[in-house]
Amino acid sequence: MANHPIPTVEQLVAKARGVYSETFGGKCPNIAVCAPGRVNLIGEHTDYNQGFVLPMALPLVTVVVGSQTSGKSVSMLTLSEAVEESQRVDFDLPTSTSPLLPGKPCWANYVKGVIQHYRGHPLPGFQAVIISSVPLGGGLSSSASLEVAVYTFLQQLCPDDGDKVAKAMACQKAEHTHAGVPCGIMDQYVSVLGRAAHALLIDCRSLEATPVTLADPSLVILITNSNVRHSLTGSEYPTRRRQCEEAAAVLGKSSLRDATLEDLQAARGGMDGVTYRRARHVIEEIERTAQAAVALRQEDYTEFGKLMVESHNSLRDQYEVSCKELDDLVSAAVEVKGVYGSRMTGGGFGGCTVTLLQADAVELAKQRITEKYNGSPTFYITTPSEGAQVLSL
């Protein structure tokens, strides 16, 4: 029941450098960057509805090491053992008449999308190795971590204008066009702009963020991986997004950010029951997230935990993106004295829960979860971390 050890950035870089040298003829990389995954404390499925979210960057990161080459070709290798296809990919950089298109292997589409939408030109050819401590399909934004790490690597080859929000938006666009996931902006935003010892209250309409201090030493953020992997490229995520857009249209709003529960109740006859429930979750979750940020600023962890549980229940019952494994993890956690709250985090259908608890309750919480969960959970004790960084070699 030990915590899953989080490798240090230095350990990841050392491993990637060794593989780079083995793969590319004994040469050494001269560029190294990293970008974090994230955990969303509250505000789920609100980002693509222009609402509020409250994520933090994680010490789990994707590292890219590499070097510029002559010519216009790209060679990349991933060290992820979870990919089910080729771990190496070779392709030519895009041109005005020959854009990069998605294909196989699937993991490379995130890389291709970032290259295609990169905001600096002209890019040179390069060789690189990717390594990550962010679990794939765990709801901790392994995809955004990869996209932002690749973008940060490209910045070292051919600098763009340095606009961090535009960087996040380019990475989001890459996921839309090349991975086929119509995600909101949260994951890429916090991977670029995350701050140590802070969560970020992000307004997904204005794209402004307010740091919220999260550095109380008596507090722990425990992530529990159900080890049930999800895939957001199925129909569920796009379906939820479409249902929200349909609800907003019925309400005469540009997005559900502008809707109230009174608006929704008045228009209930104009939409089916499923669409009503989806919209109700989003409207209430946007308000919950704003309330949670206030509670966190006031160090009212009891109130924050209550809002987390309400969020989970709504995701389970109204948005219907939870699953038995996540529900069981949350139920086991909230039974433990010293646990303020727990909820599923990420897109849903598996992945992780996030639990806010007192530091002295961690071992008991892990024990209770392990006893009650019909699976093999993985635990990460995490702290709010920095966004994407250039590393020294």
- 161 carries an active-site annotation: no
Alpha-carbon distance of 137 to 141, in angstroms, equals 8
Q: What is the DSSP string of 353-386?
A: EEEEEEGGGHHHHHHHHHHH-SS--EEEEE----
Q: Which residue has the tokens 């050392």?
A: 14
DSSP state of 347: S
Alpha-carbon distance of 16 to 18, in angstroms, equals 5
Tokens read off for 252: 């005469």
CB-CB contact of 191 with 144 (8 Å) = yes
State phi, psi for 282 to the nearest 5 degrees.
-65, -45
Alpha-carbon distance of 65 to 51, in angstroms, equals 35
> What are the start-end ranges of the E strands in the chain?
31-42, 52-69, 73-78, 88-92, 125-132, 198-203, 208-213, 219-225, 339-345, 352-358, 378-382, 389-391
Q: Exactly one of 187, 203, 258, 263 is catalytic; which is it? A: 187
CB-CB contact of 348 with 323 (8 Å) = yes
Alpha-carbon distance of 179 to 195, in angstroms, equals 27
CB-CB contact of 255 with 248 (8 Å) = yes
CA end-to-end span of the chain, whole Å?
A: 35
Q: Which residues pair with 157 in a beta bridge?
A: none
H or E segment at 282? helix 273-297
CA 376 and chain centroid, separation: 22
Please list the active-site residues: 187
